[in-house]
Amino acid sequence: TTIISYIHVTMKALIVVAAVVLLGCASALQHPAATHKFPTRRSILSLPPKAVIAAATGASSATIISPSTANAAKPNGLILDKSSESGLKWADAKQGTGQPLKPGMVASIDYSMASTVGRQPQIYTTKDKGVPYRWTLGDGSTIAGIELAILGSSGDDNSIPPMLPGGIRRVIIPANLGYQSILNEKDPKCIEGKDIGPIPPKNNSDGGYQRWYQFYCNPRIPYQPDIVLDIKLYGKR
């Protein structure tokens, strides 16, 4: 009887220990240690393509996430979870200063463009090219998603604040605010200056134009994936 009682007590003790271990594992899974870093002063235009796409498609909550949150994309990821009624998502990596631009003014930006699909999501960047993209706001030459990101919007609960000179903003642009209008043209040219921009230079050797064409000006592929853009807005130049 004594031996049987001892066995019962030992088994109960082992069950209690196992339960404590399992609870500890569950807690660790629910609250992993935060190991990522928040975006540094280094321009997000220099982030690798995979980091751009991971950050863009991993969004799920409401503002730029603080360093203590563990689900930000790595490295230096931004959570793009602010969304307007238009469908544009955005997050600011750097706030600019000065006055916002208005329709009719000339805008000058550097941008890095990527797609949310494909084995090579990175498409093209003006960074380090020495030739920013320039146009007059509201002249119809540039996709609506970029103008909306710069000018901002108002009138709904999720209004977009305008960018200020020197600011850097990452946006996810849905097809209806991107290049979808090109496919509605009878004879699209798919060349910068002939169709709505920005369009990578056709004679560039980095393959950016070919990647852009495949996703956004290919009549055999009517579906256009979302565009991921990192935009740096300049002041008067």
Mind listing the pLDDT tens digit of every residue in the chain (237 residues)? 444 444 444 455 555 444 444 444 444 434 443 333 334 444 455 555 444 444 444 433 333 332 322 222 333 466 676 777 889 999 999 999 999 999 999 999 999 999 998 777 899 999 988 899 999 999 999 999 999 999 998 766 568 999 999 999 999 999 999 999 898 888 888 998 889 999 999 988 889 999 999 999 998 887 899 999 999 999 876
Contacts (Cβ under 8 Å, ≥6 apart) of 120: 49, 211
Q: Give the helix ranges, DSSP H, for 71-184.
A: 144-151, 180-183
| Residues β-bridged to residue 232 | 110, 168
pLDDT confidence of residue 154? 77
DSSP state of 2: H
pLDDT confidence of residue 19? 45
pLDDT confidence of residue 28? 41
| Residues β-bridged to residue 115 | 227
Q: Which amino acid is at 235?
A: G
| Distance separating alpha carbons of residues 185 and 65, to the nearest angstrom | 41
| Distance separating alpha carbons of residues 12 and 7, to the nearest angstrom | 9
Helix then strand then coil, % of the chain, to nearest 5: 25, 20, 55
Classify strands 168-173 and 122-125 as parallel, antiparallel or unpaired: unpaired
